[in-house]
Amino acid sequence: MREIPEPEREEWVARLRERARLDAEELVPRPPFPVYGLLVPGLGQGALAEAGQVNGAWTIGLAFGDWEALSGPWVCVTTVAPDPDAPDRGPRASLLDALDQERNRIADHAGVDEDEPAEPPAFSETAFIVDGRAVPALLCRHGAAWAAWLPADGRTVTLVGRGVGPGSVQLAPVDDLAPYLRARNEMIGRLAEAHGRRPPPVLPPAEGLAAYRALIDQMLGSQARLLAALQADRTPRHTADEGAVQDAMWQRAVGEQARLSGSTRREADDVVTLVVNHVGHLAERFLWFAADRALREAAIDETLRYSVLGEDVPSRAAQRAWRRYWNRHLSLISAEEEEYPQTLWDLHEDLLPSWQDAWRAWTQGR
């Protein structure tokens, strides 16, 4: 893993607009495959919500309705070309993924955290009208949202909706994606403006190493939730302010590092990145980090004292090994366009065992 602070909103908007331009070059005027959109009910011009390729097969999502309203109306129609190399998780898992992604969307677009419903998802067989024909589908209702899965022309179509009854939905082929691409550009601008109007998060006071600890605890909590979701074969959920809170904590830690060391913010940011990624790797690589609270706290404490305060610590061999590994990692990342040979990446990964051995020796000596 590599933890970085939340990107600036302007950069995010620029990347989305560039992605829209690249999509337009390949998808307009006519998609080279069947794509479906909403025919009924009429929710206005749809916008391209998703566009991507896996092994050359496109996934196209078209969204209709109010992007920012918790109550809708909202319907997203996603046409997917099956990937023969991907494991078949089945339509039920696909629908649960779609509902998790919908709650993440509400967190991002509406700024609202939608709790997991108390009741379990309810699955049922139904049918949707697609291009004038009734097509059998699997429907899943869960809380305020629903999702449906159905086959169409050798592809699969996933529907997600809120504020619109699934029985009222009809689909039709989409012949021209240009209006959807234009609508996406307008949508990006509106979402960016709405995001900019949100007040910044208010953090509890923290100075010095306490600012680091708050950031590390936030990162470890997020990492634990991600792991739990993956183990449950679910899409990881996030809260509406999670990115903003972590970014605020990151910037506060950078400010404290600059104050403590008398360095520039750029230099301080490098130290924060070094520390946070070190702790993240500890959480990923060692079972004792999660299982033994005393060892975990000691490892974090020594990492902070060594990297932030410049103190000598019992784990200094591991600290030095990590610094060698991370410096090599950054040098390869910054020069990746020069096409480093694989042998250099292999040598880079060869630095990890010495770091791991040093931490194992540290645990045995305690």
Tens-digit pLDDT profile for residues 234-287: 888 888 888 889 999 999 999 999 999 999 999 999 999 999 999 999 999 999
Residue at which a domain ends, from 151, 168, 194: 194
Domain hosting residue 177, numbered range: 9-194
**What pTM was computed for the model?**
0.74
3-state secondary structure 311-357: CCCCCHHHHHHHHHHHHHHHHHHHCHHHCCCHHHHHHHHCHHHHHHH
Residue at which a domain ends, from 168, 194, 220: 194
Question: Omega before 41 cis (within 30°)?
Answer: yes
- Say yes or no: 119 and 63 in one domain: yes
Flag whether 318 is in a domain: yes
- Say yes or no: 93 and 165 in one domain: yes
- Say yes or no: 221 and 319 in one domain: yes
As given in the structure block, the two tokens for residue 60 are: 């196209």
Answer yes or no: are the C-beta atoms of 56 and 82 closer than 8 Å: no
Question: What are the pLDDT digits (tens) for 262-273?
Answer: 999 999 999 999
Which residues have CB under 8 Å from 330's CB, separation 6+? none
Q: For tokens 């090599």, what's the residue?
A: 328
Answer yes or no: are the C-beta atoms of 138 and 125 closer than 8 Å: yes
Q: For tokens 């959109």, what's the residue?
A: 37
What is the SS3 assignment for 68?
Answer: coil
Between strands 155-162 and 36-40, the pairing is: unpaired
The answer, yes or no, to whether residue 7 has pLDDT greater than 60, is: no
- Residue 44's region, left for phi above 0, alpha for psi from -120 to 50, else beta, is left
Flag whether 16 is in a domain: yes
The answer, yes or no, to whether residue 346 has pLDDT greater than 90, is: no
Residue at which a domain ends, from 144, 162, 194: 194
Answer yes or no: are the C-beta atoms of 13 and 192 closer than 8 Å: yes
- Say yes or no: 180 and 222 in one domain: no
- Say yes or no: 189 and 48 in one domain: yes
- Say yes or no: 39 and 99 in one domain: yes
d(CA 348, CA 330): 10
Answer yes or no: are the C-beta atoms of 31 and 165 closer than 8 Å: no
- Say yes or no: 66 and 162 in one domain: yes
- Say yes or no: 134 and 265 in one domain: no
Say how many Å lie between the first and final Cα of the chain, rounded.
28
More reliable by pLDDT, 57 or 189: 189
Residues 28-40, mean pLDDT to the nearest whole number: 79
- Please give the pLDDT value at position 31: 63
Flag whether 231 is in a domain: yes
Q: Helices 265-285 and 209-231 sit at what angle, rounded to 10 degrees?
A: 40
User: CA 271 from chain center: how many Å?
Assistant: 24
Q: Which residues pair with 291 in a beta bridge?
A: none
Flag whether 4 is in a domain: no
Sheet of 57-65: strand order equals 36-40, 170-173, 122-130, 133-142, 145-152, 155-162, 74-80, 57-65, 47-54
- Residue 14's region, left for phi above 0, alpha for psi from -120 to 50, else beta, is alpha
Flag whether 54 is in a domain: yes
As given in the structure block, the two tokens for residue 348 are: 């880079």
Flag whether 1 is in a domain: no
d(CA 342, CA 340): 6
- Please give the pLDDT value at position 231: 83
- Say yes or no: 161 and 230 in one domain: no
Which residues have CB under 8 Å from 30's CB, separation 6+? 175, 176, 177
Answer yes or no: are the C-beta atoms of 153 and 104 closer than 8 Å: no
DSSP state of 83: -
Name the pLDDT band for 12 (thresholds 50, 70, 90). Answer: low
- Per the structure, the count of domains in the chain is 2
- Say yes or no: 184 and 61 in one domain: yes
Flag whether 200 is in a domain: no
Flag whether 161 is in a domain: yes
**How many beta carbons lie within 10 A of that of residue 354, not counting itself?**
15
- Say yes or no: 178 and 290 in one domain: no
The answer, yes or no, to whether residue 74 has pLDDT greater than 80, is: yes
- Say yes or no: 13 and 106 in one domain: yes
